[in-house]
Amino acid sequence: MLDEAAFEGFEPGSGSIQISLASQRLALVNPWGERVLETDYPTGKSGKDSPAGTFRVLEKREDKSSNKYGGYVSAATGEVVTPRSWLVKKPAGSRFVGTPIPCRLRLTWAGVGIHVGNFERGTRTSMECIRVPAEVQRRLFEKVTLGMRGRIYGAD
């Protein structure tokens, strides 16, 4: 959901980001409490739940690669050796390549953020982060500023 007129009138950095774990919805809310941008997102997998609480946006990076999640590729050929680095030890003769994280908004120093990511509605696919469809995340990214407040909560 996008209220185009309200979104265009939204002053970057004003308002807040509201994330509901219960409904799996993220909203950009203006200073008057109106939702100007809203989208689905997946909650974290069991044991990798997105943490509830308040936050401020700590970092904003358009082109980021994960330093934790990615794969190992052959140092000689660049061919993928292991696609999920977090499940194995580094194979000999390989190098780590982090998963791209476009339009990333860091929420915690432990690595939780909001970023572009694919998912199926109602699935628990994330590794703590908030994944958002690319077209929505790019719009959100343009209005969010460093220090902007937000809240991840369990019940609507």
- Residue 44 CA to residue 130 CA, distance in Å, equals 8
> CB-based burial of residue 108 (10 Å sphere; 0-12 exposed, 13-18 middle, 19+ buried)?
middle
pTM for this predicted structure: 0.83
pLDDT of 155 > 90? The answer is no
- What's the domain range around 67? 4-153
Total of domains in the chain: 1
**What is the reported pLDDT for 35?**
95
Judge whether 114 and 17 are in contact, CB under 8 Å. Answer: yes
Lookup result for tokens 């194995």: 88
Most confident of 37-41, 99-103, 143-147: 143-147
93: left (phi over 0), alpha (psi -120 to 50) or beta: left
The mean pLDDT of 86-106, rounded to a whole number, is 92
Residue 132 has pLDDT above 70, yes or no: yes
**CATH number of the domain encompassing residue 34:** 2.40.440.10
CA 67/CA 147 separation, integer angstroms: 23
Task: Work out the mean pLDDT of the chain and round it to a whole number.
Answer: 89
CA–CA separation, 99 vs 87, rounded Å?
14
pLDDT, residue 79, reads 93
